Structure 1
Amino acid sequence: MSSALRPRLLAAAVSLCFIAPAAVAQVPQALSPVVITGARFDADPSLAPIGATVITADEIRRAGASDVNAAIRKIGGVFGRQSLDGSPDFTLDLRGFGTNSAQNMVIVVDGVRLSENELRNPVLSTIPIDSVERIEITRGGASVLYGDGATGGVINIVTKRPDQRAGSGSVFVEGGSFHAGEARASMAQSWSDFSADVSAGHQRTDNYRDNNAFRQSQLSGGLQWHTDAGRVGVRYEGARQDSRLPGALTEAQFKANPRQTFSPNDYGALDSDRLTGFGAYRLDGHDLAAELSYRKRTVDSNYLSSDFPYVSSFDTRQLQFSPRVRKLGAVRGMVNELLVGADFTKWERTVKVAGAPADPYAEQKSKAVYLRDELRFDPVHDGRISAGVRRELFDKHYRDTQSYATTGYNLTQGLNAWEIQLSYMPASGLTVFGKAGQSYRLANADENAYTPVINEALRPQKSKDLELGATYAIDAASKATARLFRSNLTDEIFYDPVNFANTNLDPTRRQGFELDAEQRIAPDWRVSAHYQYVDAKFRSGAFAGRQMVLVPEHTVTARLSWVPATGHSADLGVQWVDDQRYGEDFANSCAGRIPSYTTLDGRYARTVGQWELAVSGQNLTDKRYYSQAYSCLRGNGGIYTADGRQLKLSAR
């Protein structure tokens, strides 16, 4: 990168992001390698989005997180529910959206959106953990930049560029409880302006429960050409998964034996392929960037243990194109940054059901344009103000001639998002910030297939979002961020257990408090903690004042790390989750709740030459608990057991 280009990128990043002033003051003129940030453009790694929680590669390795999902939960403090298919892809929940949490946040990997247009979680376990440079967790509405479903927030995963790890390679092997095993290898190399990388891995485990075995193979690789003016490249990621499905238990069954299954013949599979082309270039004072991505997924489901066997195969294809341009200039001596971009997406799915004479088909096309401008109005006090708007149009089409609920619809929906953000440094080390805006979400293909009115799609969900916060930083290792937030939702999209249909709820609200803190308590010791309080309730209607289901009011995550300069390291983490309402308890009439629980994990590692040897453990106290339960009103069923204690040995 040319020396002339670096200060321009720095100024743009400073004008675009809100961070602790201590970090701003220490940013050097010669930037470290650039990465994708929450602003959807390259910037210095120290310039995190407003109020974001940043997880670094060092923290991931020290904690022994074996996949991206685990790192987000254990280090980032995000609440997660046990996956139903035995995979490491827990359901992540930002700001208390319960069973629909995956549809109320956006996950992005290097600028490419992973969030699905169906009731499925984004698959993060296929991302090689060794390739991750950092993870940015930005809580709160972000629909201006990311569109549909960004009410709860955005998780931005940034991978290392091949030229950043040129001439390097790694090998990792691990074994542990429940016949768990994993092996992965990666390498990267650069030649002048060209670089390449490849990664492959395989993991298997029988998991804690009966009929819950999981197998996954993964392959990824990329090629990139880079010059002082920009870069262009292509990347492929593929994965193959096989899962056994243990099903749900009643409360009596859970107490008798939480490991048992009553669906011994159920199983599923997932094949996923994604090909992405990307580029960034500086031309005549403008920064240009774009990604073009194609993803294909095949999901097979075989439910054979019930009285009504069901076999199906889902084929989905998605094409995304996201061009954007940024212009950095000056207005009366103040730094100004203007961002204009567009997002185009085409998603389609064909379902093959055994014995059905016709295949259900769903399609969604969307096109959006957004504009965001930010002005640094007071360099002395690091004062910044930004505003942005977005307009997005959706075309939806669905047909299923055999459905008993919805046979088809064809409609167009248009939505707007806006935001205003302000940041100011009233005193050294202290930054206060605030943001207000509107975010939105549309019902996906699965939700619109079962609605209260046949052939009538659900109304869009809208949210008025407000956040106030402050960051105090002594240095990079000692800082704290506190946030107060409120989201007033209209037409929230949720499953109605009374009418057995997806519906638009009466007005609801999410409000609460979040605190992130980290402190170096001694030269070799560091402690970090995340606390979240969420008050999720109906604002009006038949359930006015009632709590929303499957939302813990309080969650606390804390970690203690020991990293001396002797080749040893240790990391200990604890998470406490408050009790929750059962999944169908809208009236708050169930006598009991999902019990609160505390889990403990730890890792000790020793470096010997080029090898790192480690022993790690999850749920070290072997706590019997569950985070998924739906049927309190019908015999206390619908319980999905969480994992018991698991110990692992690894070598890297």
Structure 2
Amino acid sequence: MWVVRVSKKRKVPAPAVLSILWVFDMNPAHAVFFLFFSAFIVSLFPGFASGDSPVKLETIVVTAGREDKGAERLARPVRVLDRQDLSRIPGAGLVDVLAREAGLVPREGVGKSGGLDIRGMGDTSSSNVLVLLDDVPMNARDLSGVDFSTIAMEDIERIEIIRGSGAVHWGSGAVGGVIRIVTKKPAELSATLSSETGSFGHRKNRIQTSGSSKDFAFRLYGGHNQTSGYRENSAFEAKDAGLDLRLGRKGPFSFALSGHVHEDTYGLPGPVTAGRSRKSASTPHDGGETFEKRFTARAEGDFDSIGTLKLQRSLRYRDQKMDMTGRQSWEEMEILPVDIAVTEKILRADYHLPFAGNSLHLGLDHLESHYIRTDPDANLARRHNGRIIEYGAFAAADLGITESLRLALGGRYHHVDADYRYDRMDLQEWRQYALRSEAWEKQAWDAGLIYEVNSELHLYTSFASSFRSPNVDELAKASSDLRPQETRHMELGFRTFAPGRYRLEAGLFSMEAHDEIYYDSLLQENRNYEDTTLRRGLETSLSLYPSPSLSFRLDMTLMQARFEKKDTVIPLVPERHAGLQISWEPVEVVGLHLAGRWFDSRYDGNDYDNREKKLDAFHVWDIRARLHRAPLDIFMEINNMLDEEYALAAYSGAFYPMPGRQFKAGVALWF
């Protein structure tokens, strides 16, 4: 297992990165050739080799909306993970790493890449937790959820986790929280060639290289990832590649273009019932494949005293074919897969004006999503067509009332047009069978106060609203009166910190949701709860730094997610969970990182009356050892080192088991 990283003072010209084509069939011989080829090309282009001093990382800031704002100036809990943090946290994948934070619960085991629940959204977390990749929403306007397998950990610069409502700045779906992922940008010479190997046939290869001149920069990357899976029919294989270009890096105007292509194939082993092996598959032949491409163009102008203007246009296309018939043999029938094609176009405009220590933020956004699902059944072919058009306008202000008291205010107007059409095949032609059109107008508001008691203690409180409109999957099987849900939020908490010594954060939150959307399995349609749903809890995190080489982080969440009138617990939401991280770096080049998490029991996903047996509580421990000294970087990791048997989700007694103990390791070499 080997990894090669290039990251120093020189800049790589574009021709050097063409060897990325080898990433899909990587072996050590190709890696060595890539290194010598890159060095040779650099020597031919002295203009790229000369330049500024080594790149310095910018000060980490949090973008609650789309303007940069310090984390201490937000009236809600925030957690920022930079590249150094991500390199220290052990975990089997991106979802696993993020689930170590307070208030976040993993939703793995059901699909190919899992998901994340923030603040007890339960089974609808895929539509109530907004995930942004470079400010482009990754939540499709259906129930498929965010495909985290299309986001490589190696491409991430930092991750911002903002719990609570984000509706003013981001619109529909920012209910439980917002996860904002920022990828690496083109810079001076930075090339990485990496490979991993591990249990269950895990193998991962990635390559990345970038370079810059005075007014131009690029980053080219790609990768291959595969595993045979920890269960029958759980194999996964993916390839991806991308290119980022930036122009006008030194002037008041800058432009950026980026493109990304991803394809994968995967098995869907299905749930396991009691008495069956956890490694068995109830659906041994189900599976699918995905092809996705996305493109983004950005323009930014910095006009000094009159503010900055940002424009962004993105296009995302996904084609997904799935066989989910549950058949038990290849000979059982000839299966034609379900085909889902989704196209999304998003336009954003943001204007940010700072003045006298205050700021004003104005924004417009527009989304158009087209969805086509074709079921080529031998007896009755069907096609589902969905179109959702959203546009919104918002304004937000950050005002200094006194030197120690700040007020944040914001509001949004949002309009949604939704169409759903159902077609059937008749005489070799598609004919319209049903049509439904809806239009909704929604508003959201946000008000927060931050009081700086002193330089080491901040108090905050906020009140906000959020909303979520039905998506195309929900419109496909909807009650006649299905409508958007609305939620009201309250936050109250504090942050106290002493750099290099400790940081303590604690906050109370309350969420009251009206008309929450859910799927009624008895009536087989999507409806609004008649009962108000209440989510209230306490989130705490404590970081201690007893010495420069040793650090501790403890997270704990207490959650009450209930139906108001019934006083029953919302399924799949644990009432308590906690995490512990210990990092020991006795010398600068050596690190040992231990991370554990514990989750309380939770009710079955279909047990709304709380009458059935709960899923068992569990705890999982991971450990990572790392040696990093130029020109060498080595890591070894054990996930679920106690080989805990557990499940994160179950429906009607059938559960989705998680992996047992697994190993992986890697090495890095750069010049």
Same fold (TM over 0.5): yes
AA aligned opposite 2:99: R
Q: Tell me if the contact between 1:463 and 1:488 (Cα under 8 Å) persists in the aligned partners.
A: yes
Partner of 1:359: 383
Corresponding residue of 1:429: 456
* Structure 1 residue aligned with 2:660: 644
Q: For residues 307-361 of structure 1, give each alpha carbon's deviation from its aligned partner in whole angstroms, at most 9, with x where no partner exists.
A: 896731000000000101112224xxxx321111011000001112113445221
- CA–CA distance in 2 between the matches of 1:47 and 1:238? 37
- Tell me if 1:509 matches 2:534: yes
SS of aligned partner of 1:629: strand
Kept in 2: contact 1:409–1:457 (CA 8 A): no
Cα contact 1:400–1:408 (8 A) shared by 2:
yes
Please tell me whether the aligned partners of residues 501 and 546 of structure 2 are also in contact (alpha carbons under 8 angstroms): no
User: Do 1:294 and 1:320's aligned partners in 2 also have CA atoms closer than 8 Å?
Assistant: yes
Instruction: Give the match for residue 418 of structure 1.
Output: 445
Cα pair distance change 1:182/1:477, threshold 3 Å: farther
Q: Give per-residue Cα distances to partners, 1:466-509, cap 9 Å, x unaligned.
A: 01010001116621111100011100111223323221112111
Q: Output aligned runs, 1:256-271, within 5 Å.
A: 257-271=277-291
Match for 1:527: what amino acid? F
- Structure 2 vs 1, CA of residues 67 and 589 (structure 1 numbering), >3 Å: closer, same or farther? closer
Deviation per CA, 1:430-489: give whole Å up to 9, x if none: 1000110110001111112112x3xx3611100011010100011166211111000111
2:62–2:80: 8 Å Cα contact kept in structure 1?
no
Measure the CA separation in 2 of the matches of 1:575 and 1:195. 41
2:293 is matched by which residue type in structure 1? D
1:156 partnered with 2:180: yes
2:522 partner SS: coil
Kindly provide the amino acid, as one letter, of the partner of residue 51 in structure 1.
P
Q: Amino acid of the residue matched to residue 485 of structure 2?
A: Q
CA distance in 1 between counterparts of 2:352 and 2:92 reads 36
* SS of equivalent residue, structure 1 residue 162: coil
2:241 is paired with a residue of what secondary structure? strand
Distance 1:252 1:446 in 2: 34
Aligned-partner Cα distance in 2 for 1:219–1:576: 36
Give the 5 Å matches for 1:621-640. 621-631=642-652, 636-637=653-654, 639-640=655-656
Closer, same or farther in 2 for the Cα pair 1:77/1:583, shift >3 Å? Answer: closer
With over 3 angstroms needed to count, the CA separation of the structure-2 counterparts of 1:252 and 1:499, relative to structure 1, is farther
- 1:9 maps to none
Aligned twin of 1:557: 579
Structure 2 residue aligned with 1:519? 544
1:547-569 Cα shifts (integer Å, max 9, x gaps): 11110001111110112335211
- Other structure's SS at 2:423 match: coil
Find the counterpart in structure 2 of residue 25 from structure 1.
Answer: none
Judge conservation of contact 1:39–1:49 (CA < 8 Å) in 2. Answer: no
Kindly provide the CA deviation profile for residues 359-387 of structure 1, in whole angstroms up to 9, marking residues without a partner as x.
Answer: 221000011000111211222x2x11011
Q: 1:472 aligns with which of 467, 474, 496?
A: 496
Matched with 2:519 is 495
Report 1:437-448 matches (<5 A).
437-448=464-475
Contact 1:55-1:75 at 8 Å conserved across structures: no
User: What does residue range 379-398 of structure 1 map to in structure 2 within 5 Å?
Assistant: 379=403, 381=404, 383-398=405-420
| Cα pair distance change 1:468/1:110, threshold 3 Å | same
Structure 2 CA distance for aligned equivalents of residues 408 and 147 of structure 1: 26
1:240 alignment counterpart: 263
> 1:297 deviation in Å?
0.2
3-state SS of paired residue (2:606): coil
Paired residue type of 2:633: E
Q: Is the 8 A contact 2:140 2:146 kept in 1?
A: yes
* Residue 521 of structure 1, CA deviation: 2.1
Please give the residue correspondences for 1:58-457 in structure 2 after superposition, counting only pairs within 5 Å. Answer: 58-65=84-91, 67-74=93-100, 78-85=104-111, 87=112, 89-163=113-187, 166-225=188-247, 226-253=249-276, 257-283=277-303, 285-306=306-327, 311-330=337-356, 335-355=357-377, 356-379=380-403, 381=404, 383-402=405-424, 407-451=434-478, 453=479, 456=480
Shift in Å, 1:64: 4.3
Instruction: Say which SS state the counterpart of residue 616 (structure 2) adopts.
Output: coil
CA separation of 1:393 and 1:227: change in aligned 2, threshold 3 A? same
Distance between the aligned counterparts of 2:358 and 2:453, measured in 1?
Answer: 21
Q: CA deviation at 1:580?
A: 0.3
Of 483, 486, 497 in structure 2, the residue corresponding to residue 459 of structure 1 is 483
- Check whether the contact 2:102–2:557 (CA below 8 A) recurs between aligned residues: no
Question: What secondary structure sits across from 2:149 in the alignment?
Answer: coil
Q: Structure 1 residues 535 and 613, CA, compared in 2 at 3 Å: closer, same or farther?
A: same
Structure 1 pair 322/427, CA: closer, same or farther in 2 (3 Å)? Answer: same
Aligned-pair distance for 1:33?
6.3
What is the rounded CA distance, in whole Å, between the counterparts of 2:260 and 2:215 in structure 1? 23
Q: How big is each residue's C-alpha offset from its partner over 1:153-206, in whole Å with a ceiling of 9 and x where there is no partner?
A: 11111222213xx11111211111111111111111111121100111111111
Task: Give the superposition deviation at 1:252.
Answer: 2.3
**CA deviations over 1:79-123 (Å, ceiling 9, x no partner):** 1022423x3x22200001111111111111222111221111212
Q: 1:481 to 1:44 in 2, by over 3 A?
A: closer
Change (3 A) 1:595 1:321: same
**Identity over aligned pairs, percent:** 25
Q: What is the root-mean-square deviation of aligned Cα atoms in Å? A: 2.1
Contact 2:533–2:563 (8 Å) recurs in 1: yes
- Counterparts of 2:217 and 2:538 in 1: how far apart (Å)? 44
Identify the match of residue 631 of structure 2 among 590, 610, 619.
Answer: 610
Which amino acid in structure 1 is aligned with residue 259 of structure 2? Y
Shift of 1:582: 0.7
Structure 2 CA distance, aligned partners of 1:339 and 1:548?
A: 37
Question: What is the aligned partner in structure 1 of residue 553 from structure 2?
Answer: 528
How far the C-alpha of 1:77 sits from its partner, in A, is 6.6
Q: Which runs of 5+ in 2 are unaligned?
A: 1-55, 426-432
Distance 1:431 1:502, change over 3 A: same
Equivalences, count:
596
**Gap runs ≥5 in structure 1:** 1-29
Q: 1:566 to 1:384 in 2, by over 3 A?
A: closer
1:53 Cα shift?
A: 0.9
* Whole-angstrom CA distance in 1 between matches of 2:337 and 2:481: 26
CA distance in 1 between partners of 2:70 and 2:344 (Å): 31
Give the direction of change, closer, same or farther, for the CA distance of 1:536–1:36 in structure 2 (3 Å limit): closer
**Deviation, structure 1 residue 207:** 1.3
**C-alpha distance 48-507 of structure 1, shift in aligned 2 (>3 A):** closer
Aligned partner letter, 1:56 = D
Residues 54, 48 of structure 1: alpha-carbon distance in 2 compared, 3 angstrom cutoff: farther
Cα deviation for residue 221 of structure 1 reads: 1.5
Separation in 1, partners of 2:651, 2:402: 52
Q: CA deviation at 1:70?
A: 3.1
**Is the Cα contact below 8 Å between 1:54 and 1:76 reproduced in 2?**
no
For residue 524 of structure 1, report the CA deviation from its aligned partner: 0.5
Q: Is the 8 A contact 1:371 1:389 kept in 2?
A: yes
| Partner AA of 1:248 in structure 2 | P
